[in-house]
Structure formats: structure tokens, C-alpha cells
């Protein structure tokens, strides 16, 4: 007996239905040098100032600004050099009236000094330094905490660790950091017409191309993804593959067999497994054929065999759901308004998505899309970072028309 589940849902509903069933990944400690692109699993409050002490941004001299109050070309002021402080050393003396300490870039400002002047504008020998103009108190001093202030909330849970954030964590003394575990995905390709990429093509066969596109996209988004391989159009075999994968993976992607044709076995195999089907079919083009299910607490996302349809649901449904599971606070896209680069000659009865690339012409954002679009056309997705949306009931569009688009950040 077929169980009841929502059918022909909106994209947003599909994402919501799935998000209610899945959970955010557990956390693990990750070495800082391995943490680029990982999602931070805790808030970071700075326990120290960065830099930890007032320091000199130049090679020069530290002294009391008031000593130079009367300095000029005609009446230079000469101070006695009492110490030299290279970076990494703490000053031994404090600076008194009429005294200067030679200081190098990155060295701590000595007590008593309230200004630094660069070598270049002075004259000096081993013992003395001469100045030709006054300087304001506080000049050329980098203050402790000017980069990160002790006590400030530096990073929030759910942000992606990028280059500078890793540098800041290192400055604060973290050698490892708590991150959400990477989602382990697997890609099962169903279809009796498929052959592995390194096999010759017999009549009627095509290569398993979608698996590599999906694996690459998931890895780019920070997930792990293995390719399980090809399973023929047989509900038993498909069920067996999904069941095996449910032991080792968090999310199981499949392609193919998710429509209503005689050889579309995916839903049947999910029913054989007694998996909980969450929804079937989404009101979008490409990408109508799509099924989501839970099997043994693992998420199964059944994408269309058509490469473009698979890409559309992967980006717009998979992208949102995986982003949530990975612990990210934000969606993987921002919605922006863009102009079309090409005419779109068909009218759109239902909601339609057009893949492309963001480009800027004369300061305006454009969706640079291929003229050729279709369910089976993967080429239109190359370099994709922007997906335009054409609402249902829209007549053909002209180049230059403004549409909403999902910009993948």
C-alpha cells in the first residue's frame, strides 16, 4: 500500500519538510591547519588582546613627545640613546626626559615613551639621535588590542573558517578548534543505460556523468562524497545499495528512476525498504523529478537522471538542506536582482530556473547564461554561481530584463 506524502510541493516547502527531519552534525576537534572551510561549532570570545602589547610599526626611536615640542630645522633637538630593543625583546629601561630608545618594528613601546619617530627623518649615531620637527603624543604607536580586543565576540557559531579567521585563531593561541563534522555523502547512479566513465560506449549506453558533477559540487561545499557506482533499473538492487550506504553515510544521493516511467524504480525501492518518503516532485523546471526520504535515520535525496534537473535540485534543495545540516547559520546563497544576458524565448508556465554566472557589465549585475537550456543540458551549468528564477506565468523574456536570482556565495 502506498503511504501518503506531499506531492508537487514548492521548492521552499521541500526544503522545510526535509529540514524538519534531519539534524545538525556532531562536533569534533580539528587541527587549525586542517580547518580551512570548516564550520565553527562554538562562539569565540577573545581571551587576549591582539596585538598583546603596544608596539612600534617602524624601525625608529621611542621617546617623550614633549621633548621635541620646540624642535625645528633651525633648532634641532638631540636625545641620548639609552637602549636598543629589537622585536621579541622586552625593554629593560624606561625612557626619561632627554632620552630615546632605539626600537625596531614589532618591538614593545618602552615605559615612559609616548611617540615613535622613523629612522629616516632623524640623524643618529650610536649614542645620539637628532630630530628636526615636533611630533604628537601617541604618534606611530600600534595599540594593544587594535586588531582584536580582549573580551570581544570574535566569531559566532556556524561561520565558515576562512584564511583570515584561521590567522586570528592562531594569534589567540588556538592550535585546534571545535568544528561540525563534515557531512559524509554518497552518490548512487541508477540506470541500466549507464556505464562507468572508463568504459567504451555500447549502443544505447551513456556514461555516468552526473555522479562526478554531484561529487564535485558537494566537495566544493565542504562535504565528503564517495561514488558508489552504477545500479541497474531494478528496485531490489537499488534498495540493496541504499541500505548498504545507510550504514556508512549521512546523506545518500541517487540519480535516475524518480519519475513515473515503467523503469522508474526509485520510489518502489524506498517502499521495499520501508523508508519514510518525505515528499515527491517539486514544482520547478528543471528538477520536477525529485524524491526525499529517510531510511534508518539517514537522508536519501533522489535526483532526476537528467543532469540539468539533477543540478537544479542539488543546488537549490540539497544546497539549503546540507548547509543547515553542516551547522552553517546562513543559506548558501543570497537573492539578488540581475539582468538577463540572453533572450529567453520560451514562456514559463511554471516556476523555472536558469543556471549561469554572475558578470558585471557597466557596473550592473547580469546573469550570464548559455542560450541553450534544457533538462538534459549540463553545459549550461558550467561555472555556475548564479541561478535565475522566472516565476510561473511569465511570457518569453528579453536580454536586459530584470529577474531575481540565487547568488551562491
Binding residues (CB under 5 A) for Mg ion: these are 191, 256-257, 305
Owner of C-alpha cell 633637538? 77
Q: Which does 194 bind (CB under 5 to 8 A by kind): ligand AMP, Mg ion, none?
A: ligand AMP
Q: Which does 318 bind (CB under 5 to 8 A by kind): Mg ion, ligand AMP, none?
A: none
Between 84 and 271, name the residue whose CB sits nearer to ligand AMP. 271
Q: Which does 14 bind (CB under 5 to 8 A by kind): ligand AMP, Mg ion, none?
A: none
In the complex, minimum distance from the CB of residue 50 to ligand AMP, in angstroms, rounded to a whole number: 50
In the complex, minimum distance from the CB of residue 263 to ligand AMP, in angstroms, rounded to a whole number: 7
Are the CB atoms for 103 and 40 separated by under 8 Å?
A: no
351 CB-side CA count, 13 A: 17
List Cα–Cα distances, 249 to 18, 252, 287, 377, in angstroms: 17, 7, 24, 29
In the complex, minimum distance from the CB of residue 308 to Mg ion, in angstroms, rounded to a whole number: 15
Between 141 and 309, name the residue whose CB sits nearer to ligand AMP. 309
**Residue 322: which region, alpha, beta or left (left: phi > 0; alpha: psi -120 to 50)?**
alpha
DSSP 348: B
Between 71 and 309, name the residue whose CB sits nearer to ligand AMP. 309
Q: Which does 369 bind (CB under 5 to 8 A by kind): ligand AMP, Mg ion, none?
A: none
In the complex, minimum distance from the CB of residue 319 to ligand AMP, in angstroms, rounded to a whole number: 19
Q: Residue 17: enclosing H or E segment and its boundaries? A: helix 11-19
**Would strands 77-85 and 60-63 be described as parallel, antiparallel, or unpaired?**
unpaired
In the complex, minimum distance from the CB of residue 280 to Mg ion, in angstroms, rounded to a whole number: 16
Between 280 and 333, name the residue whose CB sits nearer to ligand AMP. 280
In the complex, minimum distance from the CB of residue 259 to ligand AMP, in angstroms, rounded to a whole number: 5
Nearest-CB residue for ligand AMP: 305
Closest to 230 (Cα-Cα) out of 198, 261, 259? 198
Spatial separation of the C-alpha atoms in residues 235 and 241, rounded to whole Å: 10
Are the CB atoms for 317 and 9 separated by under 8 Å?
A: no
Between 122 and 306, name the residue whose CB sits nearer to ligand AMP. 306
Between 145 and 257, name the residue whose CB sits nearer to ligand AMP. 257
SS3 at position 252: strand
Query: Applying CB under 6 A, which residues contact ligand AMP?
Result: 189, 191, 193-194, 206, 208-211, 255-259, 261, 289, 304-307
In the complex, minimum distance from the CB of residue 340 to ligand AMP, in angstroms, rounded to a whole number: 27
Q: What are phi and psi of 262, to 5 degrees?
A: -60, -30
Closest to 282 (Cα-Cα) out of 392, 131, 376? 392
Between 208 and 246, name the residue whose CB sits nearer to ligand AMP. 208
**Torsion angle in degrees (nearest 10) through CA of 55, 60, 61, 65:** -80
Spatial separation of the C-alpha atoms in residues 247 and 284, rounded to whole Å: 32
Between 91 and 305, name the residue whose CB sits nearer to Mg ion. 305
Q: Which does 122 bind (CB under 5 to 8 A by kind): Mg ion, ligand AMP, none?
A: none
In the complex, minimum distance from the CB of residue 260 to Mg ion, in angstroms, rounded to a whole number: 11
**Torsion angle in degrees (nearest 10) through CA of 91, 94, 97, 100:** 0
Between 304 and 323, name the residue whose CB sits nearer to Mg ion. 304
In the complex, minimum distance from the CB of residue 195 to ligand AMP, in angstroms, rounded to a whole number: 10
Between 308 and 326, name the residue whose CB sits nearer to Mg ion. 308
Q: What does the DSSP assignment read for 20-36?
A: TT-----EEEEEGGG-T
Return the ∠ at Cα 302 (arms to 235 and 201), rounded to 5°: 70
Cβ neighbours for 267, distance < 8 A, ≥ 6 positions apart: 258, 277, 280, 291, 302
In the complex, minimum distance from the CB of residue 230 to ligand AMP, in angstroms, rounded to a whole number: 8
Amino acid at each position: 500500500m502506498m503511504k501518503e506524502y506531499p506531492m508537487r510541493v514548492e521548492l521552499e516547502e521541500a526544503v522545510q519538510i526535509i529540514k524538519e527531519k534531519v539534524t545538525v552534525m556532531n562536533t569534533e576537534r580539528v587541527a587549525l591547519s586542517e580547518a580551512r572551510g570548516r564550520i565553527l561549532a562554538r562562539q569565540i570570545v577573545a581571551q587576549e588582546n591582539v596585538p598583546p602589547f603596544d608596539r612600534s610599526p617602524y624601525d625608529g626611536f621611542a621617546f617623550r613627545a614633549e621633548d621635541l615640542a620646540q624642535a625645528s630645522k633651525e633648532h634641532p633637538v638631540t636625545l641620548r640613546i639609552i637602549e636598543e630593543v629589537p622585536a621579541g625583546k622586552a625593554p629593560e629601561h624606561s625612557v626619561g626626559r632627554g632620552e630615546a630608545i632605539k626600537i625596531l618594528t614589532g618591538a614593545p613601546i618602552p615605559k615612559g615613551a609616548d611617540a615613535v619617530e622613523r629612522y629616516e627623518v632623524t640623524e643618529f649615531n650610536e649614542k645620539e639621535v637628532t630630530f628636526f620637527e615636533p611630533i604628537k603624543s601617541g604618534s606611530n604607536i600600534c595599540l594593544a588590542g587594535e586588531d582584536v580586543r580582549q573580551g570581544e565576540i570574535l566569531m559566532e557559531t556556524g561561520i565558515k573558517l576562512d584564511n583570515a579567521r584561521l590567522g586570528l585563531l592562531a594569534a589567540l593561541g588556538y592550535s585546534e578548534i571545535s568544528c561540525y563534522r563534515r557531512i559524509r555523502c554518497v552518490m548512487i547512479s541508477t540506470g541500466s543505460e549507464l556505464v562507468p566513465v572508463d568504459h567504451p560506449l555500447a549502443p544505447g549506453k551513456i556514461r555516468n556523468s552526473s555522479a562526478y558533477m554531484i561529487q564535485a559540487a558537494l566537495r566544493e561545499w565542504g562535504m565528503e562524497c564517495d561514488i558508489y557506482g552504477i545500479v541497474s533499473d531494478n528496485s531490489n538492487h537499488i534498495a540493496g545499495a541504499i541500505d548498504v550506504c545507510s550504514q556508512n553515510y549521512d546523506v545518500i544521493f541517487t540519480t535516475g528512476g524518480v519519475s513515473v516511467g515503467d523503469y522508474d524504480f526509485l520510489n518502489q525501492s524506498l517502499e521495499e525498504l520501508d523508508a519514510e518518503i518525505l515528499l515527491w516532485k517539486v514544482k520547478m523546471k528543471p528538477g520536477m523529478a525529485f524524491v526525499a526520504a529517510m531510511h534508518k535515520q539517514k537522508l536519501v535525496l533522489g535526483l532526476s537522471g537528467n543532469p540539468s534537473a539533477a543540478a537544479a535540485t542539488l543546488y537549490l534543495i540539497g544546497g539549503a538542506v546540507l548547509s543547515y545540516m553542516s551547522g552553517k547559520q546562513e543559506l548558501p546563497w543570497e537573492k539578488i536582482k540581475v539582468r538577463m544576458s540572453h533572450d529567453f524565448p520560451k514562456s514559463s508556465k511554471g516556476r523555472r530556473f536558469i543556471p549561469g554566472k554572475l558578470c558585471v557589465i557597466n557596473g550592473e549585475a547580469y546573469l550570464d547564461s548559455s542560450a541553450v537550456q534544457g533538462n538534459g543540458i549540463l553545459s549550461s551549468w558550467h561555472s555556475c554561481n548564479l541561478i535565475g528564477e522566472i516565476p510561473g506565468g511569465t511570457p518569453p523574456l528579453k536580454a536586459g530584463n530584470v529577474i531575481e536570482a540565487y547568488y551562491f556565495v
